[in-house]
Amino acid sequence: MKSIYDYPLKKLETYFETHGEKKFKATQVFDWLYKKRVRRFDDMRNIKKEVIETLKSDFSMEPLTIIEKLEDIDVCKYLFSLEDGNKIEAVLMRHDYGNSLCVSTQVGCNMGCAFCESGRLKKVRNLEPSEMVLQILAIEEDLQIRITHVVLMGIGEPFDNYENVMDFIDIINDPKGIELGARHITISTCGIVPKIKAFMEEGRGVNLAISLHAPNNRLRSRLMSINKAYPLEVLIPTLKEYVDKTHRRLTFEYILLKDVNDTMECADELSKLLRGINCYVNLIPYNETSHFEFKKTRKEDVLKFYDRLKKNKINVTIRKEFGSKVMAACGQLRSHHEEGK
């Protein structure tokens, strides 16, 4: 059965119209779901009994089940179980500018990046829009907070689940829904070129981040197998086109791996690759995991890399480290939970 949380407003309007009802019912239902946050169809008090009954027979309204929660000062990590028993993670980060939630988009991931815990579990299935929406609702209720920013950087590759991710964005971006501004939503992709092109045509105003992690094909193909399908000479021109078309600044994520991609040569090569693109580089301290050999770059070397990019006139920031104590690296909590069994 479909969940009521799978439906963007437009699709819910269509649903009502095909059932011979006025489409404003969709707005009323949205109001109960996302503004008043009721948990049962029976609590939607301005909706007729017959309509409630039809809704009940057509949709489920089940929340996600929280099965584990790990808390630190500025971070809170959740493990959820889905209706079919699969498990996913979400991480809430408290920044000075607001509460940012990192949501998962798939159960497992097929991208197979050499350093990433998520990909150790191959993709089992895509998440439904509801399963992404409900990560937000569950955590807002559990912590009694408002989430102000959403990043699609949890388990999964958002552009490998394109339609559901777009429906999810419609629901959270809708002023009648969760009402998160497009500028407060960031999609992160490993670089699936055809989907970057499709996304560029939609003109949604949502931020785009690219997991780059290497300045040349030799190294990038070693770290990220997607680079064999869409190498830099295909990816970079697509991104230039994206910036030209959308007038939005791009983010490049760059995990620093000790002695792998953190040399001064890499910094110079990266600067050259990105020169002239309206972008900034977000340097990410690697979250070490027991399953891979990679080590994190030492603090002073992170700063040297940062300085070199600055000197080369590349906009650069260093990502604040969250949650290494609570196993916040993508996929770590799920994988740890499985091993504990």
Summarize as ranges the residues that interact with ligand SAH (CB under 6 A): 111, 113, 115-116, 153, 157, 188-190, 211, 253, 255, 284, 286-287, 289, 329-330
Closest CA to 253 of 316, 192, 304: 316
Q: Confirm whether 76 is a catalytic residue.
A: no
By beta-carbon proximity to ligand SAH, the closer residue of 113 and 274 is: 113
By beta-carbon proximity to ligand SAH, the closer residue of 12 and 330 is: 330
By beta-carbon proximity to ligand SAH, the closer residue of 111 and 250 is: 111
Smallest gap from residue 230 Cβ to ligand SAH (A): 13
Which residue in 89, 117, 128, 131 is the catalytic one?
89
Angle at 45 between CA 62 and CA 59, to 5 degrees: 30
Rg for the chain (alpha carbons), in Å?
21
Smallest gap from residue 27 Cβ to ligand SAH (A): 33
Q: Confirm whether 288 is a catalytic residue.
A: no
Closest CA to 86 of 103, 67, 59: 67
Smallest gap from residue 31 Cβ to ligand SAH (A): 32
Tokens representing residue 9 in the block:
């407003």
By beta-carbon proximity to ligand SAH, the closer residue of 4 and 133 is: 133
The torsion defined by the Cα of 82, 226, 238 and 267, in degrees rounded to 10, comes to 110
Which residue in this structure is represented by tokens 């079919």? 84
- Which long-range contacts link 285-292 to residues 24+ away (Cβ below 8 Å)? 285/255, 285/256, 285/318, 285/319, 285/321, 286/115, 286/255, 286/256, 286/257, 286/258, 287/324, 287/328, 287/329, 287/332, 288/324, 289/117, 289/329, 289/332, 291/117, 291/120, 291/335, 292/114, 292/115
Which residue in 113, 190, 279, 330 is the catalytic one?
330
By beta-carbon proximity to ligand SAH, the closer residue of 310 and 319 is: 319
Instruction: Kindly give, in sequence order, each residue whose CB lies less than 8 Å from that of residue 127, ignoring residues fewer than 6 positions away.
Output: 82, 88, 104, 105, 106, 107, 156, 161, 164
Q: Which residues are catalytic, by number?
A: 89, 330
